[in-house]
Structure 1
Amino acid sequence: MHLSYCTNVHPAEDLDGVIRQLREAAGPVRRAAGLAVLGVGLWLPAPLAARLASEPEALARLRGTLDDEGLEVRTLNAFPYEAFHAEVVKLDVYRPDWTDPARLEYTVDAARVLAALLPDGADGSISTLPLGWRDGWDAAADRAATEALAALGAELRAIRAETGRTIRLAVEPEPGCTLDDVDDVVAWLAARRDRLDLDLVGVCLDTCHLAVSFADPAEAVERIAAAGIRVVKVQASAALHVERPADADARRAVGAYAEDRYLHQVREDAPGGVIRVDDLPEALAELPATAPWRVHFHVPLHLVPEPPLASTTDVLRTALAAVRAVQDVDQVHLDVETYTWSVLPGAPVDLVDGIAAELRWANAELLERAEQPA
């Protein structure tokens, strides 16, 4: 697997900002992590993706910076459209959805940029939102999204014919969305295999989202494979786990993670079925708290929360092992996606040191350990 870290952790909205983040963060992270080459899963806001797709000089400037800093790009995160570090993001991250032509245009621009940045012989991937947020989604919206993804498939085939580069779309299920979990995305894609090219459209398995759903990670991966669908990308991420959410200490500890920028969906693994709420304050006010919780808050992989909280790196390990068991992973992109450093409770962490430590952990625990003989 190719390891990278996602640059949506950095608040850059234009080319100068992206180049600055590469020189001041990604390059220093590579050196601090002791890597000859570092993969970066670029996040390009939509206006910048459009500029890079249409201005060869701007694209050459970006490519030169990547080369100077020892960085390579095999995957893009095209889930947030823009303004991912606004004071309040919440539901805005799901707009525009796949019914809006702007979403298709953005993704095509991203694909053209990625085709120009890929190393020789490498396939590329682009992760995207799971169609849209669930509220108001109806049959008309579903038809529009299907047509948009079919049109994207035609564009990806044209890019492959023009450039020789294969770019795949990775649809990322997320709690609360139209495609809430792995079962939803598998069913949706499988039902449309006559309209969508499933060689070019597959799944982005975000292991924080997977953990929040309380699905068995190995079984979830096996269902993807059984449907003839590809895991295109794995977003290495961990959720918060609260074993006894009724305890006062646990409620105080998890309450510290409630913040105003991002949505932190919570699920309770109740005996009668998983109970779902859309944000952490709502969970603290409304959930019965009689069974364990998982919280959609991307916890840095190498940081172990203080008890009574825990993280779900065990789900990440099991999911990766399952992916290795069902498909060739040479072109699966493993992207560390911890975008929450700026909203972590407690003292601020030096971002370069934190990302470098997280990448060292991922390399040792997810790649090197998997390659050791049993």
Structure 2
Amino acid sequence: MKTPFGLLTYCSNIHPGEDWKHHFSVLQSSIPEIKNSVSKDAPMGIGLRLANQASLDLSETTNFEAFQNWLSANDCYVFTMNGFPYGGFHDVVVKDQVHAPDWTTNDRVQYTIRMFKLLAKLLPADMQEGGISTSPLSYRFWWKIESKNPLETLHHATTLATQKMLLVLDELIAIKEATGKVLHLDIEPEPDGILENSTEFITWYEDYLRPIAIQYFAQKGISTEETLAILHTHIQLCYDVCHFAVSYEKPKVVVEKLAKANIAVGKIQISSAIKVNFTNDAETKLKAIAQYDEASYLHQVIARKADGTFEKYQDLNLAIEDYQTGKHEEWRVHFHVPLFIEQYGELSSTQSDIVDTLAIHKQKPFTNHLEIETYTWGVLPPEVQVPLNESIAREVTWVKGLL
């Protein structure tokens, strides 16, 4: 829906369905109820998540036209999409496979191009901008810092992934020339991705993306200045508030760094992580956080010590196993929890990072797209679960209040 500070929606990755028939049926049963609660008298945007199979299904003319007709009949539209999880995302063990296939593969390239072709047709006639969020290249632990085989290294993966991404960029340029629509690929740093935080993202953008793109487009007769403008328009950052909070990054600092580097933000994913303060009642809090150790998703932990240094864990169970009294003052846990709750009994959330990020955005807007992303309702402890559609509506209402 339109707000004074951009288009606001929620991401449909909370809804199951890896094929289009299943996913569409869930959207049909959920969205009208949610819209009636949060945008009864105005059009409502949808942040559409399509798995690979669903993207293939929706590319079929009959399915696409039926979806367009449904959107029109229900006063809804699509302006942003989630192209991060390629395969199964519900009722399966996802863990590190959320990155698979990664950006070193042709499968990821073809899937993303297919998604952009769909988005170009789904964007309303009066909207010229759309974006798709995606994986931060790959999962870093699939690669080695050094290896006798250079094809196994993190450097090789980063270079190859960047080169593959330029094939999508070619498609975005062609779409703009043919339709006038400006579509951008929004890369989403997250814990244990090759790009984990703002520093790594900016370093990649400056040391890999720009030089590789300049060389690539020079062969097509495109100047360095034109190439940099193309990159600024079409390769942007997905600012996931949860992910930056887990890395203890301050929103104001991140936004200023991106502006200084002349990197655009494609969308803000409004999300909240778990925070554990171990300076008091530590044993009670350890038992509380253990309830969130579930088998579906990776829940990386970044622990802060008293001296200000950090220790990282690939998953919550590893942090729990390594727990020692007094070792850490605080944990930030990559677990997307409901936005409107600040305290979870003995635990707290990084809700204040959302408040700070949106306050900065209100003062000086730095993107047109705002997308709520809480996908873990089904794996939350029972005491914090409420009906899904009601929960989504509460999140949208809470964010609208901040805006």
On whether the aligned pair clears a TM of 0.5, the verdict is yes
Instruction: Specify the alignment match of 2:218 in structure 1.
Output: none
**Shift in Å, 1:44:** 0.6
Measure the CA separation in 1 of the matches of 2:105 and 2:160: 8
Structure 1 equivalent of residue 271 of structure 2: 237
Deviation of 1:291 after TM superposition, in Å, equals: 1.1
Q: Give the counterpart of 2:313 among 268, 274, 277.
A: 277
1:291 matched to 2:325? The reply is no
Deviation at 1:162, TM superposition (A): 1.8
Quote the residue 1:185 is aligned against.
Answer: 201
Q: Whole-Å Cα distance in 1 between the matches of residues 292 and 304 of structure 2?
A: 20
Structure 1 residue 161, shift from structure 2 partner: 1.4
Give secondary structure in 2 for the equivalent of 1:42. Answer: strand
Contact 2:246–2:301 (Cα < 8 Å) also in 1: yes
- Of residues 103, 121, 130 in structure 1, which corresponds to 2:126? 121
Letter in 2 for 1:308: E
SS at match of 2:112: helix
Mapped pair 1:354 → 2:391: yes
Q: What is the TM-score with the length of structure 1 in the denominator?
A: 0.93
**Long gaps (5+) in structure 1:** 368-374
Kindly state the Cα deviation for residue 15 of structure 1 after the two structures are TM-superposed: 2.0
Per-residue CA distance 1:130-172 (angstroms, 9 max, x = gap) = 0000021522212211111111111101111122211101000
Unaligned runs of 5+ residues in structure 2 are: 1-5, 144-152, 214-230
Q: CA deviation at 1:323?
A: 4.0
- Paired with 2:355 and 2:343, the residues of 1 have a C-alpha distance of 18
CA distance in 1, matches of 2:139, 2:176: 31
Which amino acid is 1:221 matched to? V
1:59-78 alpha-carbon deviations (Å, 9 max, x no partner): 11111122222221110000
Correspondence 1:117-266 to 2 at 5 A: 117-122=122-127, 123-135=129-141, 136=143, 137-191=153-207, 192-196=209-213, 197-244=231-278, 247-266=282-301
| CA deviation profile, 1:24-43 (whole Å, cap 9, x unmatched) | 11121111224322221100
Q: Secondary structure at the match of 2:370?
A: strand
Does the 8 A contact of 2:138 with 2:194 survive in 1? yes
Q: Is the partner of 1:27 in helix, strand or coil?
A: helix
> What's the counterpart of residue 363 of structure 1?
400
Cα distance in 2 between the residues matched to 1:241 and 1:154? 41
The separation in 2 between residues aligned to 1:33 and 1:276, in whole angstroms, is 39
Instruction: Please say which of residues 246-255 and 355-364 is displaced more in the overlay.
Output: 246-255
- Between the aligned partners of 1:226 and 1:160, the Cα distance in structure 2 is 26
Mapping of residues 42-61 of structure 1, within 5 Å: 42-53=48-59, 55-61=60-66
Alpha-carbon shift at residue 91 of structure 1 (Å): 0.9
Give the residue type in structure 2 aligned to 1:278: Q
Q: What's 2:217 paired with? A: none
Compute the displacement of 1:325 (Å).
4.9
Q: Which residue, out of 22, 29, 33, partners 1:24?
A: 29
Amino acid at match of 1:223: K
Shift of 1:355: 0.6
Equivalence for 2:223: none
Q: Which moved more, 1:132-141 or 1:293-302?
A: 132-141
> Is the contact between residue 5 and residue 41 of structure 1 (CA under 8 Å) also seen in structure 2?
yes
Q: What does the per-residue CA deviation read over 1:250-295, in whole Å, with 9 as the maximum and x for residues that have no partner?
A: 1111111110111101111222522110111111111444211111
Residues 337-358 of structure 1, C-alpha deviations (whole Å, 9 max, x = no match): 0000101102442111111111
Larger radius of gyration: 2
TM-score with structure 2 setting the length:
0.86
Residue in 1 that maps onto 2:226: none
Deviation at 1:178? 0.6
Q: How far does residue 324 in structure 1 lie from its aligned partner after superposition?
A: 4.8
Tell me the distance in 2 between the aligned counterparts of 1:328 and 1:257. 33
Supply the distance in 2 between the matched residues of 1:79 and 1:324 (Cα, whole angstroms). Answer: 27
Aligned partner letter, 1:362: V
Kept in 2, the 8 Å contact 1:225–1:326? The answer is no
